[in-house]
Amino acid sequence: MRTLLARTAAVAAGAYLCVLAFLYLTQQSQVFPSKAADNALDAAVRERFPDMRALSLPTPDGSVLSGWLLARPDAAQDAPAPLVLYFGGNADLCSQFLLDAPRELPGFSIAAFDYRGYGRSTGVPSETALKADALLLYDRLTAAGGARKTIVMGRSLGTALAAHVAANREAAAVILVTPFDSIRAVGQQRHPFIPVGLLLKNPFDVLPDAAQIYAPALVLIAARDTTVPPEHARRLAEALRGQEKTVVLDGDHASILKKTEYWPSIRDFLRENGAGPR
């Protein structure tokens, strides 16, 4: 009997270790699944918005970030329009956002870039690299465009990057769509018997950055989100130091983007906080 129990325990321990090894070795593709460039989608963006410019930005370590910029004037101020700098989800291409955003945000300049290893951007993504890239994009775009105001916006994984920029640079407003407190916390809830913190290479702990954000912030939460359960978004919202507005929309992690209240909530927030064009 003892021998049987010992063998059973050994098998169970071996299986557990195999699960740990699998999660450790595959985490890069789970956090950064990457996505190839979509020529048809890019063509659709160009067709809808002929003034959209494709940009390539070299990074100090030799990677090249590929993205788009739609620069608009602020006619009332005879100056560049406020800039919305967008960071997408971990399985998104920036052109998906740019297919609709310029119509939904009239009067704003809009910029978005693909992460390293996504679309036509080169390099290997990591938390450290993407945060450095986010600051680099802010610095280059604000210096080149001269926008009066910069709004940083992120969705899902991109909320960690938007928060990092807002914590370290001046932002007129921050928009966080289905944000999280940390990937570690979300992963631990999903895998309660796994030491997620010991395995994770890119924990993306957003709370320290959130505690340094004093700009007005909009937090959009999906009521039926199973990818990032709403409690993680609420923890992030509670850590923000400035004026914060939380809006809960029916839907899940992806369908929230299609809700009729989605874009009006963003426009109302920007107008209420004086972050839009005059």
Task: Please spell the DSSP secondary structure of 2-41, one letter per residue.
Answer: HHHHHHHHHHHHHHHHHHHHHHHHHHHHHH---EE--HHH
**39-71 pLDDT tens trace:** 999 999 999 999 999 999 999 999 999 999 999
Give the burial class of 35: count Cβ atoms within 10 A of its Cβ; 0-12 exposed, 13-18 middle, 19 or more buried. middle
12, exposed or middle or buried, with CB in 10 Å at 0-12, 13-18, 19+?
Answer: exposed
Q: 189-198: buried (b, 16+ CB within 10 Å) or exposed (e) per residue?
A: eeeeebebee
Over residues 246-264, the pLDDT tens digits come to 999 999 999 999 999 999 9
Q: Which CATH class is domain 35-272?
A: alpha beta
Highest mean pLDDT among 5-9, 84-88, 183-187: 84-88
pLDDT tops 90 at residue 13: no
Please state which of the ranges 79-83, 113-117, 205-209 shows the lowest mean pLDDT. Answer: 79-83
pLDDT at residue 10 in the model: 61
What confidence score (pLDDT) does residue 19 get? 67
Phi and psi for 53 in degrees, rounded to 5?
-105, 130
The number of helix segments (H) and strand segments (E) in the chain equals 11, 12
Q: Which amino acid is at 63?
A: S
Q: Which phi and psi angles does 56 have, rounded to 5°?
A: -130, 130
Nearest partner of 178 among 124, 229, 131, judged by Cα = 229
CA 229, CA 212: separation in Å to the nearest integer?
24
- Residue range 180-192: average pLDDT? 91
Cα-based distances in Å from 44 to 48, 50, 93, 96: 6, 10, 13, 10
The domain limits of the chain are 1-31, 35-272
Any idea what DSSP says for residue 225?
Answer: -
